[in-house]
Structure 1
Amino acid sequence: MDKVLSHVRQLKRYLLKKTDNTSQRTPENNNHIVTSGSYSEMRIKLLVDSLFVQISFGLVGIANWCHVIGFFSQFWHFGPLVTSEISGFVIRGYSGLWKGCEETGTLCFRPDGGSWLKATQAFETLGFIAAVAALILIVLYVFVPATSGKRIVFILSMVACFIAAGCILLGIIIYGTKMDYNLSWSFALCCIAGIIFAVAGLLLAIDFCKR
């Protein structure tokens, strides 16, 4: 009987020791979980500044793709074209800002539109530079810790969006007034890009006014 009681006492001691060890480790594990959670929250706050900024970032990315494709492609207009290589030689085909091709694609040329085409090229080039600058600045503002939340970076990205929108749409207006028929999809893409940049700039301006 005494042996049985001694075994029971030893078992109780063992169970008490095990319970004490478990209770001592639990706060450490909880602290670890809290620390991990707070680190995740810190990262989210670093990457996500505001809803308007995040929407603007997505819009600027989409607008850049639209403008790059429209800017460099040769499908702004389809119809009778005048080449600069052969004076007075008119052919039918597709034409862009920098290059045109006869509709079968066998003959390509540099389009000749005079001063209005050069003005369109100039404004679209300025819009392209401002668009790239806007994308770089908004990426710096949202994702780079050293520049995230900087007021000057935010203002510059907003201004770059408005400059890109203004230059792109001015080029569109000049081209559209001279070639007001048979406009093609490259022209439409640049038009969409200009509108999207304007919307992104407005969203950034609204976010700026709310602060």
Structure 2
Amino acid sequence: MGFREASKFTRIAFGLAVGGFLTDIIGFPSPYWIVGPFSSQGLFQECALYGCFSLPMDLMPGWEKAVMAMEVLGFLACLGCFVLMVLYAHVKNDQTILQTMAIGLAFAAAGLILLGVIIYGAKLSGVTFGWSFGMTIVSGLFLIGVGALNIVDKFSSR
């Protein structure tokens, strides 16, 4: 029971889980969701020539709080999926409950992350989106791949 004994699908899904976790942990908290000539803005702070600052929560519109909540919950689900994939791929290849829980968390994380991105993009259409916005989208797509490959692996081994 180890990574070498894991199926091909599990190993690829593990690689996608690593990619999804890394792109999410870099993308969602960074202040480059929107970029302009002299400023940039993220979910948690805004930066300009004179420095970065955070807006108070009571001044934020409700949709922005919802996006923040979805992205944080999506990150936590992504973290849980990553931990379960490490356990399943490296330690316990015979424990299908770990794989089943990783599937659920991968799809939950992808749904939350992509829903937050969709709301943010719809509310702020017409602006220039930055690299961290794109990385967050890629993270959601990686997590869809993790869930899909785990489903294929789960039903191909029978």
TM over 0.5: yes
Partner of 1:66: 23
Query: CA–CA distance in 2 between the matches of 1:96 and 1:113?
Result: 13
CA distance in 2, matches of 1:130, 1:192: 16
1:95 and 2:41 equivalent?
yes
Highest Rg: 1 or 2? 1
Please tell me the residue identity of whatever aligns with 2:120.
Y
Partner residue of 1:116 out of 59, 63, 82: 63
SS at match of 1:108: strand
Are positions 1:162 and 2:107 aligned together? yes
Per-residue deviation at 1:142?
1.5
Identity of aligned residues (%): 36
**What TM-score do the two structures reach when normalised by structure 1?**
0.68
Structure 1 counterpart of 2:8 = 51
Relative contact order, higher structure (CA 8 A, sep 6+): 2
CA-CA distance at 1:113 after TM superposition: 4.3
| Structure 1 letter corresponding to 2:115 | L
Q: Report the CA distance between 1:136 and its aligned residue.
A: 0.5
Paired with 2:2 and 2:144, the residues of 1 have a C-alpha distance of 26
Give the match for residue 73 of structure 2: 126
Q: Deviations over 1:22-43 (max 9, x none)?
A: xxxxxxxxxxxxxxxxxxxxxx
Offset at residue 158 of structure 1 (A): 1.0
Runs ≥4 residues deviating over 2 A: 45-48
**8 Å Cα contact 1:66-1:190 kept in structure 2:** yes
Q: How many residues align?
A: 152
RMSD: 1.6
The answer to whether residue 125 in structure 2 is matched with residue 193 in structure 1 is no
Pairwise CA distance, 1:202: 0.6
Deviation at 1:209, TM superposition (A): 1.9
- 1:173 equivalent to 2:118? Answer yes
